[in-house]
Structure formats: C-alpha cells, structure tokens
Amino acid sequence: MKLSEIAAALDARVEGDGSIEILRAVHPSEAEGPGDLALAMDKALLALLPGSKARAAVVAEGAEVPEGLAGLIVVKRPRFAMAGLLDVFEKPVHAEPGVHPSAFVAPDAVLGQGVSVGPFAYVGPRAVVGDGTIVMPQVTVGAEAVIGRDCLLHPGVRVGERVVMGDRCILHPNAAVGNDGFSFVTPEPGSVESAKATGRVVGTNVLIHRINSIGTVILGDDVEIGANATIDRGTVKATRIGSGTKIDNLVQIGHNVEIGTNCMLCGHVGVAGSTVIGDRVVLAGKVGVADHVRIGSDAVVAANSGVGTDIPPKSVYMGYPAVPRARAFEQYKGLARLKRLFAEVADLKSRVKALDGRDSLPVGSNAAGAPPEGSE
C-alpha cells in the first residue's frame, strides 16, 4: 500500500514522497526496513526517528520532525488517527469457512451466508446467526438466540437462550451474555430488608427462594463485550445495552439494567439490577453502581467511585460515596488538612490549660505565687 493511500484512508496530508510502498506499521525502534511505517505521533517518539530504518513516519500536526525521512503522514488528532491506522493494518482472526466437523449446529438453526462455526462450538435449536458472523471454537449459542450480521464471538463465549444481538457485535473470550439474574427472596422480610428500612438487622434469612429470570438480553449494533464480562438477563423484561456501547473485561451487568448508546464501562465496573444509564455515559475502572439508580446522559464517573444515588446528566462524579467533583475535591483537601488541624487544636488546648492555670491562682498572687508588686 502506498503512503498516499494510507493518508487518504486517514483523511490526512502527505509531505514528501507519497509513492513509498508500505508493508506494515511499527514502533520507530522496531523498524527493520524501508517498507515499515514508523508511528511517531507521540512527541517522545520523534527522537527515535533519526536512528530508525523506516523511510516514512506518521507524526502529529505541528511536530518538529527530524530530517532524513522521505515521506510523512501528518495527522490532526493522533489517537483517532491511531484507530484508523490499526483498521488499515488490521490482522483478522483466523476462521475457517463453513461449519467445522466437530461443531454441533441444531437442524433447525439458521446460518446466514459466509458464517464460520469453529471446532467444538454449539449452535442451539432455532438459533439464527447472521451473514458473515464468526463463531470461534468452543462458543455456545443458546436455543432461539438471534445474532446479527458480521459479529465476532471469540473462543469460550456463552450466548444464552433467546438473547438478541445486533450487527457487528464483538464478544471477547469467555464473555457470558444471558445469565440468570442474582435475584432471591425470603418468605418473610429478611435481614437485607430490615437493614435498609431501619439500619438494624431484625429479620432472619431462614429460607432463600430463587426468582427465575424469564426475560432476556438485547444488544444493539456495534456493541463490544470484554473478556469474562457477564450480562444477566432480565427477570421479566429485557436487560438492554444500546448501540455502540463498549464494555471492558470483568464487568458485571445485573438483571433489568438499561444502558444507552455509545457508553463506555471500564474494567471491574459492577452495575446492580434495575439501574438505568443514559447515553454516552463513562464509568471508569472499578466503579460500583447500586440497584435502581439512574445516571443521566453524558455523565462521567471517576475510578473507584461508589454510586448510591441518582446522577444528573453531563455531570462529573467521584468518590466513595460518589459526589460532584468539586465537592469531592473539597473533601480531599479537608482530609489533607486534618493533621495540621489536629496540631493546631492541640496547641490551642495547651494554651487554654495554661490560661486556666493562671486564672485559678489566689487573688492577689502572680504566676510565681509571690504577692503583687508594691505590697508590703
């Protein structure tokens, strides 16, 4: 591929020789020949270019580029350009066409055109798999599940019965979609109910009865689910994940949760049941969200925060419990000042004690117990 063709794919400009043939994109320190394109969009990497064997590089607009390169691609937004570059040089997963002999596909399942089903995969009764979808080894697709076009299910993925997935969804290894919800009830009000209502444990969980989940999970288009992430099906209605939403590894989504479009949920996020999350929300790593909470569109919650109350749209929350960012910073500043405050209080106490000691002396005596000056 010519340097100019790569620039056109990125909507970027070329400086120098656009006819250079590029074979691969590499870190500047790993360039081995003139067919390598050095990715030097970070300022720190520019210093590696003079010693690189690459003849061409990708740099950020306004960068001071060392001399010696035959061609450049100049980009405006490096991180976005990186996404485009990785699309250009993508290395698709290896998937054999058709159904592998060791796979099981139910006789009444429907496979679209160009579907690949890998070794030891299972596609259940009345399941539908859309055109161009890749089902990799040891994937399970439950009965009556519907999977859209051009999806990619990595090894070990579990798609539960009646789950519905849109087009171009990606499920990473061992993701599980359509598990039963963590939903139980006691015959009489139990410890959790009394603790919530009164702050005390009054009830006793003598018997814990399971509440079955007869709902499902519905994923929109272009949803991505990370490795070992889990999404519970709804109790009666569906758990829903909006189009374009990206969910990182080891994320837990509880039953009846509704998540809007183009959200980002980072690693170790946990969302309890019946929570509603708006569009374009970002939950950073290890955020925990309580049940029945509502988070407004375009909100951002910082890492390690605990969300126990509703969050308005377009707000930034942080802390444990999560509060508005400005309030959280005030709290952190207050904590940082505690040591000095304790020292000042201790000093004030010692001064007050000294004052109290002088006030308790006999009338007409000074601090040393001697009579006042001028007395005989």
Tell me how far apart the alpha carbons of residues 196 and 203 are, in angstroms, rounded to a whole number.
11
Q: What is the DSSP string of 312-348?
A: -TT-EEETTTTEEHHHHHHHHHHHHTHHHHHHHHHHH
Instruction: Estimate the crossing angle of helix 78-88 against helix 3-10, to 10 degrees.
Output: 120
Tell me how far apart the alpha carbons of residues 191 and 255 are, in angstroms, rounded to a whole number.
21
- Indicate which residue of 27, 100, 255, 268 is catalytic: 255
What are the residues whose beta carbons fall under 8 Å from the beta carbon of 269, sequence distance 6 or more? 247, 248, 251, 252, 283, 285, 286, 287, 288, 289
Determine contact, residues 124/141, Cβ cutoff 8 Å.
Answer: yes
Is 154 catalytic? The answer is no
Residues belonging to the active site = 255
